[in-house]
Chains A and B, each alone.
Chain A
Amino acid sequence: GAVVSQHPSRVICKSGTSVKIECRSLDFQATTMFWYRQFPKQSLMLMATSNEGSKATYEQGVEKDKFLINHASLTLSTLTVTSAHPEDSSFYICSARDRRLSVTGELFFGEGSRLTVL
């Protein structure tokens, strides 16, 4: 099956610093990637849709200047949490859509990245 790799799996940073999370599709091309945030014991909340070569589309209530998304190639999208604060601590999960399976909308998920801001 298709593999999506997310890195780092865990990161601890100081308040005010920026953190970058990478999401790579290892064996397929992903024209679209999605970034989700998951709070403890809750479902996934879609943050933004990342399209290769264009600006990301953010969901309502998500600050685009705080959560910078770049999708520079068909296999890589990055999420940068800028000026992180403790309330940004969360589990961030990326998913990728295989362009060959675009009809069904099936997504493949990364392993997730747990961010802890001190």
Chain B
Amino acid sequence: AQSVTQLGSHVSVSEGALVLLRCNYSSSVPPYLFWYVQYPNQGLQLLLKYTTGATLVKGINGFEAEFKKSETSFHLTKPSAHMSDAAEYFCAVSALNAGGTSYGKLTFGQGTILTVHP
């Protein structure tokens, strides 16, 4: 079974400051990893994903994340926060079958609410 832990249910930063949202996963094999963002009363929008290849992945809106297998982590960062980044962020993993393809089910972390202060 796999699981996802997001450290910190709430993160507050000042506008222009570094954003760091932490995500650790537990999986018997390296999974595919995703970060989604959710604005109030809306669905989820994909920020970025890691499947294979380069461990540092860049996403939309200036976000990036680095897959660290040794630490089983996939932390999300953005060098300079903007007011529009205020939202809830979810880390998710997708289990792989023996053939290396995804089952399609995602397991989500508990979510981290990002607040950006002027």
A residues near B, CB below 8 A? Answer: 1, 4, 6, 9, 32, 34, 42-44, 46, 49, 91, 93, 95, 97, 102-112, 114
Contacts and interface: CB of A to CB of B under 8 A. Distances in A.
A109 B36 contact: yes
B43 A110 contact: yes
B11 to A, nearest CB: 15
B90 A32 contact: no
Contact of A43 (B49, B105, B109): B109
B29 to A, nearest CB: 13
Interface string B9-31: 00000000000000000000000
Interface of B: 32, 34, 36, 41-46, 49, 51, 90, 94, 96, 100-106, 108-111
B105 A102 contact: no
Contacts of A34: 104-106
A105 B43 contact: no
Contacts, number: 70
A32 B110 CA distance: 24
A79 to B, nearest CB: 14
A108 B34 CA distance: 12
Nearest to B91: A43
B106 A105 contact: yes
Contacts of B43: 4, 6, 93, 95, 109-112
Given A32-B104, A34-B105, A112 B41 contact: yes
B34 A106 contact: yes
Given A46-B105, A105-B96, A111-B43, 7 more contacts: A43-B109, A44-B44, A46-B106, A95-B106, A105-B32, A105-B103, A105-B106
Contacts of A9: 41
Contacts of A32: 104
A80 to B, nearest CB: 19
A97 B102 CA distance: 11
A32 B106 CA distance: 13
8 contacts: A34-B106, A43-B110, A44-B90, A93-B44, A95-B43, A95-B106, A102-B102, A109-B45
List the 3 shortest-distance A-B pairs measured between CB atoms, nearest first. Answer: A105-B102, A105-B94, A109-B43
